[in-house]
């Protein structure tokens, strides 16, 4: 993944779950740190300076709500809660404590990654930290939803742009169809499976028109990848 590498701090006392998330997110190009001192999560945040905190609610010593409140006193980083207790009260408390999202266990790792990607994009990419993604001579401008290649430029619709941006952000990794649809849902663009296929076809045609043939590759039964 070209551009800024985001750091995610995982605050999860179940080592198996934490390591599975770490392994998966690392494959997507993130720098992932597992919290180890559950007495001092604030200290861990201060040391690793994450761009996002993935916070379990049930923790030793103090729960995730407590640590969210403490982190919010000093930092403005996004916080996403994890919990097997997906009842409405926990969701309300998570949001009231300053959480940016709530993910119920068990969850699909691909969906988790899409949600985190959407939050990071809202929090950082569109806030001016990154205004373009470049891969193999092609530059996607995040400010005007256009792509430039060999002196030529093509514009994309909102959905086409968000799909292409997600694929380029994760160049070298397969992005599942579910992950793409979840990405668009999180940004208030609701598309179904058929609409996604139509958008991919339009993206490929526009890329072909400026000489970028086979830029987006289909992996049957898995998703899409930009190599």
Q: For all residues of the chain together, what is the average pLDDT?
A: 84
Helices of type H across the chain: 15-27, 41-48, 64-74, 88-96, 109-123, 158-169, 177-186, 193-209
Q: Residue 37: phi, psi to the nearest 5? A: -105, 95
How many CA atoms are closer than 13 Å to the CA of 21, on its beta-carbon side?
A: 29
Which residue would you say has higher pLDDT here, 216 or 95? 216
With CA atoms as reference, report the closest residue to 33 among 53, 14, 16: 53
Measured CA to CA, the distance from residue 54 to residue 20 in angstroms comes to 13
**Structure confidence at residue 213 (pLDDT):** 92
Closest CA to 171 of 133, 208, 203: 133
Q: pLDDT digits over 48-79, tens only?
A: 989 999 998 889 999 888 898 888 888 888 89
Enumerate residues 6+ apart whose C-beta is below 8 A from 58. Answer: 13, 64, 83, 84, 85
**What tokens does 23 get?**
């392994």
Tens-digit pLDDT profile for residues 71-117? 888 888 889 888 776 566 666 676 666 677 888 888 888 878 888 88
Listed in sequence order, the residues at least 6 apart from 213 whose beta carbon sits closer than 8 Å to its beta carbon are 207
pTM over 0.85: no
């Amino acid at each position: 993944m070209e551009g800024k590498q985001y750091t995610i701090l995982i605050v999860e006392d179940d080592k198996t779950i934490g390591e599975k998330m770490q392994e998966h997110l690392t494959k997507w190009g993130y720098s992932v740190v597992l919290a180890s001192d559950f007495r001092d999560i604030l200290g861990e945040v201060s040391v690793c300076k994450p761009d996002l905190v993935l916070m379990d609610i049930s923790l030793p010593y103090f729960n995730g709500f407590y640590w969210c409140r403490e982190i919010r006193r000093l930092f403005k980083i996004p916080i996403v809660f994890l919990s097997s207790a997906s009842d409405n009260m926990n969701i309300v408390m998570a949001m009231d404590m300053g959480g940016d999202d709530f993910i119920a266990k068990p969850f699909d790792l691909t969906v988790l990654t899409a949600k985190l990607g959407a939050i990071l994009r809202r929090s950082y990419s569109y806030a001016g930290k990154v205004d373009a993604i470049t891969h193999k001579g092609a530059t996607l401008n995040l400010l005007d939803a256009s792509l430039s290649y060999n002196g030529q430029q093509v514009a994309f619709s909102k959905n086409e742009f968000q799909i292409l941006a997600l694929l380029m952000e994760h160049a070298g990794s397969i992005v599942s169809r579910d992950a793409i649809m979840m990405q668009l849902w999180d940004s208030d663009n609701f598309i179904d499976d058929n609409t996604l296929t139509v958008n991919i076809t339009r993206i490929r045609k526009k890329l072909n028109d400026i000489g970028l043939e086979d830029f987006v590759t289909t992996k049957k039964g898995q998703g899409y990848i930009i190599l």
